[in-house]
Amino acid sequence: MPDDKQIEARFWKALRSDPIMMLGVDGVEDGFARPMAAVLDEDRSPIWFFVSTDNAIVDAIREGRRAIATVAIKGELYASIQGRLSLSDDRAMIDKLWNPGSAAWFKDGKDDPKLRLMRLDAEQAEIWLDGSSILAGVKSMLGIDPKEDYKDKQASISLQQG
Domain-wise residue ranges, the chain: 4-158
Q: What is the pLDDT along the chain (162 residues), one digit of tens a residue?
A: 678 888 899 999 999 999 999 999 876 667 788 899 999 988 788 999 999 998 888 888 877 778 999 999 988 899 999 999 999 889 999 999 999 989 999 989 999 999 999 999 999 999 998 766 544 555 555 666 655 555 556 657 677 665
Q: How far apart are CA 107 and CA 122, in angstroms?
A: 29
Q: What integer pLDDT is reported at residue 4 of this predicted model?
A: 86
Q: How far apart are CA 139 and CA 161, in angstroms?
A: 40
DSSP annotation string for 22-72: EEEETT-TT---EEEE-EESSSSS-EEEEEETTSHHHHHHHTT-EEEEEEE
Q: How far apart are CA 154 and CA 130, in angstroms?
A: 9
Cα-Cα-Cα-Cα dihedral of 154, 6, 38, 97, to 10°?
170
Q: How far apart are CA 82 and CA 154, in angstroms?
A: 16
- Residue among 54, 60, 55, 61 at smallest CA distance from 88: 61
Enter the CATH code of domain 4-158.
2.30.110.10
